[in-house]
Amino acid sequence: MILFLDFDGVLHPEPCCQDGDLFCRRPLFEAVMRDFPAVKIVISSTWRQTRSMDQLKALFSEDIAARVVGATPNWMDLPELMSVIGQYPRHVEVEGWLHQAGRPWEKWVAIDDRADWFKPFLPNLVRCDSNVGLNEKVAITLRRKLRAAG
């Protein structure tokens, strides 16, 4: 099972005004992930475009960082998937990673604040409120989806 993880609007509110607020929701995210140790993490955040994999992993506790297995490709590099999936960039990136990794049938869940970047009514998507990020209510939904998909 793969979890595709956005940062802005998930691990902290978007916009995030103060450095102290960056990754303020990370402890809750990591607590959820510790209950699902078989779930691997792929970074789908735009942070992947300006930071190395080592820099991205360094944002997490050691046990969670060890489960980060990659980052999604840029949707603009996947025109063949855009023609199949449509104008949903994050969804295209998720499918692109699955295909490039040789895991097109792998079960997956995405947590993101931009539902409009995925096909409508996608059951794999856990949506956060951008202004809040991951909270207890969304964490319950994430746990339910991970349990159901696992």
Q: pLDDT tens-digit profile of 130-149?
A: 999 999 999 999 999 999 87
Residue 58 has pLDDT above 60, yes or no: yes
> What is the average pLDDT score of the chain?
90
Please list, residue by residue across 91-106, b when 16 or more beta carbons sit within 10 angstroms of its beta carbon and e when fewer do: bbbbbbbbeeeeeeee
Number of domains in the chain: 1
Range of the domain at 20: 2-149
pLDDT over threshold 70, residue 105: yes
Residue 35: CATH number of its domain? 3.40.50.1000
Predicted confidence at residue 150, as pLDDT, reads 67
pLDDT category at 17 given cuts 50, 70, 90 is: low
Cα distance between residue 48 and residue 70, in whole Å: 9
Among residues of the chain, what percentage have pLDDT more than 90? 69
Lowest mean per-residue pLDDT among 23-27, 42-46, 85-89: 85-89
Give the pLDDT confidence score for residue 100 in this predicted structure. Answer: 87
Q: Are 106 and 124 in contact (CB under 8 A)?
A: no
pTM for this structure?
0.92
The residues, any chain, with a CB within 8 Å of residue 60's CB and separated by 6 or more, are: 26, 30, 68
